[in-house]
Amino acid sequence: MSLPPLVEPAAELTVDEVRRYSRHLIIPDVGMDGQKRLKNAKVLCVGAGGLGSPALMYLAAAGVGTLGIVEFDTVDESNLQRQIIHGQADIGRSKAESARDSVKEINPYVNVILHETRLDVDNVKEIFAQYDLIVDGTDNFATRYLVNDAAVLLGKPYVWGSIYRFDGQASVFWAEHGPCYRCLYPEAPPPGMVPSCAEGGVLGVLCASIGSIQVTEAIKLLAGIGEPLVGRLMIYDALEMQYRQVKVRKDPDCALCGENPTVTDLIDYDAFCGVVSEEAQAAAIGSTITPKQLKEWQDDGEDIFLIDVREPGEYEIVNIPGATLIPKGDFLMGNALERMPQDKKIVLHCKTGVRSAEVLAVLHSAGFADAVHVGGGVIGWVNQIEPQKPVY
């Protein structure tokens, strides 16, 4: 559906701005009027990571007058494979400040506002209220539902994107004109069911593919041109180089934007999404050891069976000596239980401790009551025991 422009045009473009944006100005659908609207627009990008990097860079290049950046993290070396707004010299710096400097280098006419904080129920409405449009570059379900609910409650449109390995998705959610994110995904998937990019990986260039779609949609909304992805989900398969669309209809029974909403204000999103299942939390109580304890057990010759529940690709990057690789999925399917010894203490680990806690709950329920897991996982092991090894 065609929608009216989201913002009014600015009073004028300077001579320098006309030169800078000339390739936009000669497009009939954009022209002076559309570029003035971009100049007058205020866009908030949630995250300056994989999706936020290309989004911020192209929003800046396009001439969006005010860009807000919500980001609390620092630049890590593992980010540089895909988060192209940051460079080698930025490792250890605030991502927000690094992104701001890159934006100003691309376009000094852009006003950049930093929100160096974790987005939560206490600040999201205040931050969102300052902007015309939200671009969601988050990578976890709790924040996605937070962004959606705040946008709906404030009447704000937002452009959503998601990436994993070789697959990406994008859409525009605007409850006044179509569905919201809850119409598409009424409930978050069970904890651990959908791996994060940190667990499963992502092709770096996929961020550019989806991020550029997000910016295209943002420009269309701001300038009032074309047919935005409202009510449509774009799905991209990079391996097959194939795009397909799925229609998303507004759900009359949606808990947030439906005819009789049951969600009328922000909620506890960690609890709603179950970042870690209750079973895993319960299993970890009293059954969590430190990497140093594991090293002591190994040095003392304790009779343990150490299991790495990550994926084979992760195991190849870095592993704890003596660990046997049995991926989490084998436990969830029940295939791994017959391999568990009855005469040894079972010790589990993963990357940081989340997946191993989920497997721990499975083992406890199967009768292996003395099984434990390593808090902090292989990352904790490298940091505390073998710092010469790589992390990811």
As a three-state string, the secondary structure of 184-201 is HCCCCCCCCCCCCHHHHC
Residue 64, amino acid = V
By CB atoms closer than 10 A (0-12, 13-18, 19+), residue 66 is middle
- Of 319, 295, 326, 324, the C-alpha closest to 392 is 319
- Looking at every residue in the chain, the average pLDDT score rounds to 95
**How confident is the model at residue 315, as a pLDDT?**
96
Containing 181, the helix (H) or strand (E) segment is helix 181-184
Longest dimension (CA), the chain: 80
Residue 207 is a catalytic residue: no
Contact in structure between 139 and 47 (CB atoms under 8 Å): yes
Nearest in space to 54 (alpha carbons), one of 197, 199, 216, 245? 216
Q: What is the DSSP letter of 234?
A: E
How far is it, in rounded angstroms, from Cα 221 to Cα 229? 10
Angle 52-62/95-106 helices, nearest 10 degrees? Answer: 30
Tokens representing 187 are: 């409930």
Q: What is the pTM of this model?
A: 0.83
Q: What pLDDT does residue 278 have?
A: 83
Query: Degrees (nearest 5) of the Cα angle 107, 127, 212?
Result: 45
- For the cut 90, the answer to whether the pLDDT of residue 277 exceeds it is no
* Secondary structure percentages of the chain, helix, strand, coil, to 5: 40, 15, 45
Here the tokens at position 125 are 């409405």
Determine the straight-line distance between the first and last CA of the chain, rounded to whole angstroms: 43
Q: What average pLDDT does the segment 36-60 reach?
A: 98
Q: Is the pLDDT of residue 351 over 70?
A: yes
Residues 34, 27: Cα–Cα separation, whole Å: 10
Active-site residue (options: 197, 254, 257, 273): 197
Strand pairing of 372-374 and 288-289?
A: parallel
pLDDT tens digits, 158-198: 999 999 999 999 999 999 999 999 999 998 887 666 777 77
Share of the chain above pLDDT 70, in %: 98
* Residue 331 near residue 337, CB atoms below 8 Å: yes
Q: Per DSSP, what are the bridge partners of residue 74?
A: 94
- Residue 367 has a CB neighbour count (10 Å cut-off) of 10
The answer to whether 356 and 284 are in contact (CB under 8 A) is: no
H or E segment and range at residue 281: helix 278-284
Other C-beta atoms closer than 10 Å to the C-beta of 135 total 28
Q: What is the DSSP letter of 80?
A: G
* pLDDT average, residue stretch 48-64: 98
Region 196-205: what's the mean pLDDT? 84
Phi, psi of 316 (to 5 degrees): -70, -30
Q: How does pLDDT run across 314-349, given as a tens digit for each residue?
A: 999 999 999 999 999 999 998 899 999 999 999 999
pLDDT at 193: 64
Cβ atoms of 181 and 158 within 8 Å: the answer is no
Dihedral over Cα of 140, 188, 312, 282: its sign: positive
Pairing between β-strand 111-115 and β-strand 66-70 as defined by DSSP bridges: parallel
350 a catalytic residue: yes
- DSSP output for 299-346: HTT--EEEEE-S-HHHHHH---TTPEE--HHHHHTTTTGGG--SSSEE
Residues in CB range of 188: below 8 A, 6 or more apart: 141, 142, 145, 272, 273, 274
pLDDT digits (tens, 9 = 90+) for 66-124: 999 999 999 999 999 999 999 999 999 999 999 999 999 999 999 999 999 999 999 99
3-state class (DSSP) for residue 43: strand
